[in-house]
A and B are shown apart, each in its own frame.
Chain A
Amino acid sequence: MCVDCGCSIRGIEEHTGEHSHDGGKTFHSHEHQKAHEHLHHNPQLNDAKTVSVIQKILDKNDHEADHNREHLQEKGVLGINLMSSPGAGKTTLLEHLGDVANFKFGVIEGDLETERDADRLRAKGIHAQQIQTGTACHLDAFMVHKGLHHMPLDDIDVCFVENVGNLVCPASYDVGTHLNIVLVSVPEGEDKIAKYPVMFRQADLILITKTDLLPYFQYDIEAEKAEARKIKPNVDILEVNVNDVQSVKAVAQWIEFKLKMRA
């Protein structure tokens, strides 16, 4: 795929063209990279050895994330980052989406170093690409870029990224998808949303999963939704129980709607 863009994984300054920088709010060309330095990189006159920089620490990652979005955009593919604690139900949801979705999707699987989750998806006929994360506690845009190389972008409408199971670290990294879905399961208990606000702030859609288990847990689901909306007032929230096909269909419909809105 990078034959045409010429990026060959080594970096971000190699290709030209418009792309969005902060999640689609602004557009600029790669001249931006230089402008960046000119703007903020002004040695002060009184002390030549002190420089004001004002650069995002993850600027390189953010540029690579923009770059990944360009690839997806070019092929009309919607990228969705799935994040949650381990075991909240990311892989299970993807398996069930395979049965009901009327869009085609692939999965970049970053959750485990083993092929276990990827194999589960392949068994369902879903194209899954395992990426090597070593001991990383999150995916970054460079890892996802490598995964994109092996995605049949011409044949899919949606590319999911199953992030490492962790409610902390993945929240700081833009991996270059368009939307974030954050899952939180009933058995994890009531305080998760309030305890991990940075993660839930990133969510475009929050899925409260395993709602079939509500009778067995002390879990005030309406209070959890209210908590989420203190952190992100306009966030969408759906309840999911994979044994209830309608609830899985609702997730598919949310994604279909988002696909339509990106014509």
Chain B
Amino acid sequence: MHEYSIVQSLLNQCEEIAMKNDAKKVVKVVTKIGAMSGVEPHLLEVAFNTFKEGTICDSAEFIINKQKLKLECKECGGIFEVDEVRYFCIKCQSLKVKVVDGEDMYLMRLEME
């Protein structure tokens, strides 16, 4: 359950940003979680709602935007999202694909008061 450690990092980030902006509380936290980030969105949400208590995010709404794996084909130029985990082009089968999105987890936006 590394979702708990990840939430700790996220809460620290929120705290730092809130301090820099002289905010008293965070009302909304928007994240982007890639399908191949190794994080289970539901577990992340549970962890966030457990650990936010007593922090600056105590009453914050937690939003997860799930990001599918997104690839760009170097051969045919296609950019596409895949449902199944596969790292080759869905159109021309080329293995020369670049990962555009979906492997990382990001804090995207904070709303504060």
Contact = CB atoms under 8 A, between A and B. Distances in A.
Interface in B76-108: 85-88, 95, 103-108
Interface of chain A: mostly helix, strand, loop or mixed: mixed
Interface centre among A48, A51, A234 (most CB of B within 10 A): A51
Contact of B17 (A51, A60, A232): A51
A136 B5 CA distance: 9
A133 B95 CA distance: 38
Interface string A41-56: 1010001111111111
A204 to B, nearest CB: 15
A261 interface: no
Given A198-B37, A230-B86, A60 B21 contact: no
Interface stretch (A6-14, A119-127, A168-176, A217-225): A168-176
Contacts of B36: 197-198, 201
A77 B31 CA distance: 36
B108 A52 contact: yes
Given A172-B38, A230-B86, A52 B109 contact: yes
A230 B87 contact: yes
A58 B88 CA distance: 27
A148 to B, nearest CB: 20
Contacts of A198: 36-38
B85 A197 contact: yes
Given A137-B2, A197-B85, A58 B9 contact: yes
Interface in B1-32: 1-2, 5-6, 9-10, 12-13, 17, 20-21, 23, 31
Determine the interface band of chain B, counting residues with CB < 8 A from chain A: 20 to 34
Contacts, number: 93
B88 A233 contact: yes
A230 B88 contact: yes
A58 B106 CA distance: 8
Contacts of A168: 2, 38
Contacts of A58: 6, 9, 105
27 contacts: A41-B20, A43-B21, A47-B111, A48-B21, A49-B112, A51-B109, A53-B109, A54-B106, A55-B106, A55-B107, A56-B107, A57-B6, A57-B106, A58-B6, A58-B9, A59-B13, A168-B2, A169-B1, A172-B2, A172-B6, A172-B39, A173-B2, A197-B36, A198-B36, A230-B88, A233-B95, A234-B95
